[in-house]
């Protein structure tokens, strides 16, 4: 059975390690914060100027002066720090953020990512995505394996304008966990009950399938 | 030294058509509400606005879009505004989309007197077209230029008569860098205090960068996405 968005978030949360500084993008990546394994502490960064972002506020805690990069109201954890956008992207560029999780429209077998622009449609802008993918030490993409038309989003080459080149390390979809290897996508895990054949069929780029592909442990 | 102005209208009296403005804030967070309202009242046109976002339809820079006062936006993300989309698709508005970190640093560098810098952001994408590319430490970088403005309009939490500013929570965003980058920087503050009332250790933007300051009023502080924790 393929995963829902919560399942994808839960699987990505297994990648978190104690002490990591993590930036979560909008959408499925945001859900990762709900599944942090017990006994580990990670600190969330929001690129509008927070290190130590906490959960959404209660009604009484709402503060109009405190939002995240998705423009949502948030809280601060004890020990949080606040700074401006220039410093925030400085720490991103300088490689201080250990892990970035973001969504994508397409990923290539070389690790290129496209997630900001569809020619012919209104372009809203790249926000901080280009900066994050150009500099984060480790980038995990959370996305569906295929687009709404059923076409693979894991391609030999991206067809959409790129956000960044050769930057994605790992991809978690509703059916598989893959990493970017020297020669293409390497299939690491499959969702419970999903066959290798289905993943092969839905992956347009070069896919390397090891002899044994374990099921995700969720 | 007199930086004190009576209100927003007085503080922007010499901003003319075709001015290049930096407008602080991230979404609607920490925007200079009084200054934007004064620009609407003054009715000057052909403005270039450097601001991370373009407000929403009926608040923030959206108000200046409604009145067609903006000619060009320089932003990283403009997706929250239907009027913006309409004007853009009709060719009434020019937009320059800049990666958020590059935008922040271009502004910050102007305040630091650095004319250009190299960043890996956007290498291999259409953002790199026409830009000088150099390799440093085995990684490719683009040259980006510092970004200046005729006027920077920012909103701080507290400020004193000498222009020292203190910001609250995430309202620092682009505002602290913009305050340093403007040829003339105008700050509106929630609380205007006498020199000495702000602890020098707490100053976010030193007074040297701020040319005009006034006590803002009637802050709405609209929240774009009020998101609550579900309590069990």
Mutation target to probe the A interface, by most A beta carbons within 10 A, among B80, B108, B170 is: B170
Q: Do A47 and B119 touch (CB under 8 A)?
A: no
Please report the pLDDT score of residue A122 as a whole number. Answer: 85
A47 tagged catalytic: yes
Q: Which helix (H) or strand (E) holds A62?
A: none
Three-state SS sequence of B100-121: HHHHHHHHHHHHHCCCEEEECC
| Average pLDDT for A188-199 | 98
Instruction: Please state, for a pLDDT cut of 90, what percent of chain A lies above it.
Output: 95
Please report the pLDDT score of residue B85 as a whole number. Answer: 87
User: What pLDDT band is residue B231 in, cutting at 50, 70 and 90?
Assistant: low
Residue in A55, A84, A125 closest to B172 by CB: A84
Q: Is the pLDDT of residue B232 over 80?
A: no
Per-residue model confidence as pLDDT tens digits over A106-138: 999 999 999 999 998 888 999 999 999 999 889
CB atoms within 10 A of CB B18: 11
Q: Do A65 and B30 touch (CB under 8 A)?
A: yes
Mutation target to probe the B interface, by most B beta carbons within 10 A, among A27, A61, A69, A124 is: A124
Q: Which of A15, A38, A47, A182 is catalytic?
A: A47
Instruction: Please state, for a pLDDT cut of 90, what percent of chain B lies above it.
Output: 94
Rounded to whole angstroms, the Cα distance separating A7 from A74 reads 23
Supply the angle between the helices B100-112 and A85-93 in degrees, to the nearest 10: 110
Please report the pLDDT score of residue A120 as a whole number. Answer: 86
- Determine how β-strand B47-50 pairs with β-strand B20-23: parallel
Distance from A91 to chain B by nearest Cα, in Å?
A: 10
- Domain B8-120+147-215, what architecture? 3-Layer(aba) Sandwich (3.40)
Per-residue model confidence as pLDDT tens digits over B133-157: 999 999 999 999 999 999 999 999 9
Helices and strands (H and E) in chain B: how many: 6, 11
Distance from B192 to chain A by nearest Cα, in Å?
A: 18
Q: Is the pLDDT of residue A76 over 70?
A: yes
Q: Which residue has the tokens 């250009």?
A: B116
A166 torsion bin: left (phi>0), alpha (psi -120 to 50), beta (else): left
Q: Do B76 and A126 touch (CB under 8 A)?
A: yes
Please report the pLDDT score of residue B80 as a whole number. Answer: 83
B158 torsion bin: left (phi>0), alpha (psi -120 to 50), beta (else): beta
Per-residue model confidence as pLDDT tens digits over B71-111: 999 999 998 888 998 998 899 999 999 999 999 999 999 99
Is residue A115 a contact partner of residue A167, using CB atoms and an 8 Å limit? no
Q: Do B77 and A163 touch (CB under 8 A)?
A: no
Q: Do A134 and B121 touch (CB under 8 A)?
A: yes
φ/ψ of B202, rounded to 5, equals: -100, -5
Could you report the predicted ipTM of this complex, rounded to two decimals?
0.97
Reported as half-sphere exposure (CB side, CA atoms, 13 A), residue A197 has a value of: 0
Rounded to whole angstroms, the Cα distance separating B1 from A52 reads 40
CB atoms within 10 A of CB A157: 13
Q: Is the pLDDT of residue A190 over 60?
A: yes
Three-state SS sequence of B221-232: CCCCECCCCCCC
Distance from B2 to chain A by nearest Cα, in Å?
A: 28
Q: Is the pLDDT of residue B64 over 70?
A: yes
φ/ψ of B174, rounded to 5, equals: -85, -10
All structural domains of chain B with their residue ranges: 8-120+147-215
* Average per-residue pLDDT for chain A: 96
Please report the pLDDT score of residue A137 as a whole number. Answer: 86
Q: Is the pLDDT of residue A20 over 80?
A: yes
| Average pLDDT for B25-38 | 98
């Amino acid at each position: 059975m393929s995963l829902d968005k919560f399942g994808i978030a839960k699987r990505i949360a297994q990648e978190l390690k104690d002490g990591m500084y993590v930036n979560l993008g909008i959408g499925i990546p945001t859900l990762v914060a709900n599944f942090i394994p017990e006994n580990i502490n990670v600190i969330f960064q929001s690129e509008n100027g927070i290190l130590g972002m906490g959960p959404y506020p209660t009604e009484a805690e709402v503060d109009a002066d405190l939002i995240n990069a998705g423009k949502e109201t948030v809280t601060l954890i004890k020990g949080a720090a606040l700074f401006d956008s220039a410093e925030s992207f400085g720490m991103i560029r300088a490689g201080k953020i250990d892990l970035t999780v973001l969504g994508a429209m397409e990923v290539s077998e070389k690790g290129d990512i496209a997630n900001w622009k569809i020619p012919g449609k209104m372009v809203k802008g790249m926000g901080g995505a280009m900066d994050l993918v150009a500099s984060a030490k480790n980038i995990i993409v959370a996305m569906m394996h295929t687009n709404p038309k059923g076409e693979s989003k894991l391609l030999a080459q991206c067809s959409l304008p790129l956000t960044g080149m050769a930057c994605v390390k790992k991809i978690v979809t509703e059916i598989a966990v893959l990493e970017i290897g020297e020669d293409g996508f390497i299939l690491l895990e499959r969702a419970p009950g999903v066959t290798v054949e289905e993943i092969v069929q839905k992956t347009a780029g070069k896919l390397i399938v090891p002899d044994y592909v374990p099921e995700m442990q969720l | 030294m007199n930086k004190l102005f009576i209100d927003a209208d007085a503080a922007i009296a010499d901003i003319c058509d075709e001015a290049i403005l930096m407008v602080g804030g991230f979404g609607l967070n920490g925007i200079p509400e009084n200054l934007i309202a004064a620009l609407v009242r003054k009715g000057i046109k052909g403005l270039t606005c450097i601001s991370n976002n373009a407000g929403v339809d009926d608040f923030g820079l959206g108000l200046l879009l409604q009145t067609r006062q903006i000619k060009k936006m320089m932003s990283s993300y403009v997706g929250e505004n239907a009027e913006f989309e309409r004007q853009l698709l009709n060719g009434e508005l020019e937009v320059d989309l800049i990666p958020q970190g590059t935008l922040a640093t271009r502004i910050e560098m102007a305040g630091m007197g650095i004319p250009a810098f190299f960043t890996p952001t956007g290498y291999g994408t259409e953002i790199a077209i026409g830009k000088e590319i150099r390799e440093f430490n085995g990684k490719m970088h683009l040259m980006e230029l510092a970004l200046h403005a005729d006027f920077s309009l920012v909103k701080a939490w507290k400020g004193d008569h000498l222009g020292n500013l203190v910001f609250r929570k995430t309202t620092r965003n682009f505002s602290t860098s913009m305050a340093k980058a403007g040829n003339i920087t105008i700050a509106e503050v929630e609380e205007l205090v006498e020199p000495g009332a702000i602890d020098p250790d707490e100053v976010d933007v030193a007074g040297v960068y701020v040319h005009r300051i006034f006590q803002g009023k009637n802050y709405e502080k609209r929240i774009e996405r009020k998101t609550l924790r579900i309590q069990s």
